[in-house]
Amino acid sequence: MTDMNEQLDSYDHYHMNVFGRPLMVLDHGQGSYVWDTAGKKYLDFLAGIAVNSVGYAHPKWTAAVADQAGKIAHTSNYFATVPQIELAEKLLTLAQAPEGSRVYFANSGTEGNEAALKLMKLHAKRKGVSKNARIIALTHAFHGRTLGALSATWKPAIREPFEPLIPNIEFVEAGDVDALTQIFNQGPVAGIIMELIQGEAGVLEVGASFVQKARQLCDDNDALLIIDEVQTGMGRTGHWFAFQNEQLSAGVMPDAITFAKGVAGGFPMGGLITFGQRVSELFTPGSHGSTFAGNPLAARAGLATIGIIEEENLLENATARGIQLREALMNCKNDLFVSVHGSGLLNAIELAHPCAHAAVEWLLNQGLIANAVNPQALRLAPPLNVSSAQIEEGVQILSHIPYDLPND
């Protein structure tokens, strides 16, 4: 099976059809470049959807994972391993979490959010209002595909086929302070879950003043403010976590955050961080768990990823390359580009008409990977160690996307 179309036919034949036909079959990568099985090379401005933080096959990441695989790859939670202990401590340090804060490891973003939803339910129960306490999520939010996280995910097309879901979740438009206040006035609220930049909706900022208001309402009503950092975390916006970026959060401290995507540089991992003792005490032995939680291979991959981000100053690089990317795209005079926005290396180009899928195909032909985050926007999220020359190379290709591509 050497022909790529033959491989894709086989893929279609054997896989559950939930993703549609993949664009190509990838074989190997190096840094910001990846090759398909037909030998074509691509500059990757998607990085596995903001997952491959340090690019493909970083020698230190590869060595760490290989070393760990040769020692111990899984234990179950009857036992602990040193990588998981070290990673938990490291994450709390990076999040500047106060004494008493805790980490729960899961295996994906949606699982981190499942833990967050259970946390809010435990909080409501402790308050004595569990029967009718509501959970607030935002319109256009994406929190995952499992039934709990899906209940807090906005897009009707992916949520409605699975209803009824968790009851008592209310959606509020980001920025609508009055609507948010009104929900609190109507009765008990367990908490709010929100992204600071809605990645899947098109890289849209929720707005610092709205976040500030949410914090105040949660404080006044003893509700939890949980920030979903699955896409924005681990350096993606030039800060370890987006809530540490004053422009996005107005300095607001959440009660908990969830993380996943970039945390282990391509190894599946996710989780929940609770801030301070009071929130951290909600989960007790037996109240949550997962066979793979804190898996040593994943934890070692996470430590290696964080180590590389620190050694190579990749927070600074994400900030600088992001500015370079946005400025170059705004100056490239492509009439198709209405606006360019984002933070660090999480960015989107707003298009003049809904041709994002055709644009993605055109870009692939030219050797650049991006994604159509909605019909009228391209998402660009290169590895955090993308170089200045590679940004130029990508912009060169992007600047030539033709205007008159077919609409979706």
Contact status: 142 vs ligand PLP (CB under 6 A): yes
Residue 75 among known ligand-binding residues = no
Residue 274 among known ligand-binding residues = no
Residue whose CB is less far from ligand PLP, 293 or 405: 293
- Least distance from ligand PLP to the Cβ atom of residue 265, Å: 14
Of 29-37, 208-216, 224-232, 378-386, which part binds ligand PLP (CB under 6 A)?
A: 224-232
Contact status: 231 vs ligand PLP (CB under 6 A): yes
- Least distance from ligand PLP to the Cβ atom of residue 146, Å: 7
Residue 284 among known ligand-binding residues = no
Per-residue binding letters, 247-266, with ligand PLP (x by CB under 6 A) = -------------xx-----
Per-residue binding letters, 87-116, with ligand PLP (x by CB under 6 A) = ---------------------xxx--x---
Given 200, 205, 255, 393, the residue binding ligand PLP (CB under 6 A) = 200
Contact status: 199 vs ligand PLP (CB under 6 A): yes
Cα–Cα distance measured from residue 199 to residue 260, given in angstroms and rounded to the nearest whole number = 13
Given 58, 102, 143, 300, the residue binding ligand PLP (CB under 6 A) = 143
- Least distance from ligand PLP to the Cβ atom of residue 266, Å: 12
Given 34, 204, 230, 355, the residue binding ligand PLP (CB under 6 A) = 230
Residue 65 among known ligand-binding residues = no
Contact status: 140 vs ligand PLP (CB under 6 A): no
Residue 109 among known ligand-binding residues = yes
Cα–Cα distance measured from residue 30 to residue 401, given in angstroms and rounded to the nearest whole number = 25
Residue whose CB is less far from ligand PLP, 142 or 210: 142
Contact status: 144 vs ligand PLP (CB under 6 A): yes
Check: CB of residue 264 under 8 Å from CB of residue 300: no
Residue whose CB is less far from ligand PLP, 120 or 401: 120
Residue 291 among known ligand-binding residues = yes
Question: Which residues touch 375 (CB under 8 Å, ≥6 apart)?
Answer: 354, 355, 356, 357, 407, 408
Residue 387 among known ligand-binding residues = no
Check: CB of residue 108 under 8 Å from CB of residue 144: yes
Residue whose CB is less far from ligand PLP, 141 or 189: 141
Residue spans of beta strands (DSSP E) within 31-132 = 33-36, 41-44, 102-106
One-letter amino acid of 123: H
- Least distance from ligand PLP to the Cβ atom of residue 142, Å: 5
Expressed in percent and rounded to 5, the helix, strand and coil fractions of the chain are: 40, 20, 40
Cα–Cα distance measured from residue 60 to residue 301, given in angstroms and rounded to the nearest whole number = 10
What is the 3-class SS of 180-238, one letter each residue? Answer: HHHHHHCCCEEEEEECCEECCCCCEECCHHHHHHHHHHHHHHCCEEEEECCCCCCCCCC
Residue 229 among known ligand-binding residues = yes
Cα–Cα distance measured from residue 354 to residue 405, given in angstroms and rounded to the nearest whole number = 9
Residue whose CB is less far from ligand PLP, 137 or 398: 137
Contact status: 234 vs ligand PLP (CB under 6 A): no
Cβ count within 10 A of residue 45: 28
- Least distance from ligand PLP to the Cβ atom of residue 151, Å: 13
Give which of 262, 239, 197, 195 is closest to 46, Cα–Cα. Answer: 262
Chain centroid to CA 300: how far?
20
Chain centroid to CA 72: how far?
28
What is the 3-class SS of 286-355, one letter each residue? Answer: CCCCCCCCCCHHHHHHHHHHHHHHHHCCHHHHHHHHHHHHHHHHHHCCCCCEEEEEEECCEEEEEECCCC
Residue whose CB is less far from ligand PLP, 31 or 261: 261
Given 44, 114, 195, 255, the residue binding ligand PLP (CB under 6 A) = 195
Cα–Cα distance measured from residue 185 to residue 20, given in angstroms and rounded to the nearest whole number = 44
Q: Which residue is nearest to ligand PLP (CB)?
A: 109
Cβ count within 10 A of residue 149: 29
Cβ count within 10 A of residue 78: 5
Contact status: 48 vs ligand PLP (CB under 6 A): no
Binding site for ligand PLP (CB under 6 A): 108-110, 113, 142-144, 195, 199-200, 228, 230-231, 260-261, 270
Binding residue ranges: 109-110, 142, 145, 228-231, 290-291
Binding residue ranges for pyridoxal 5'-phosphate: 109-110, 142, 228-231, 291
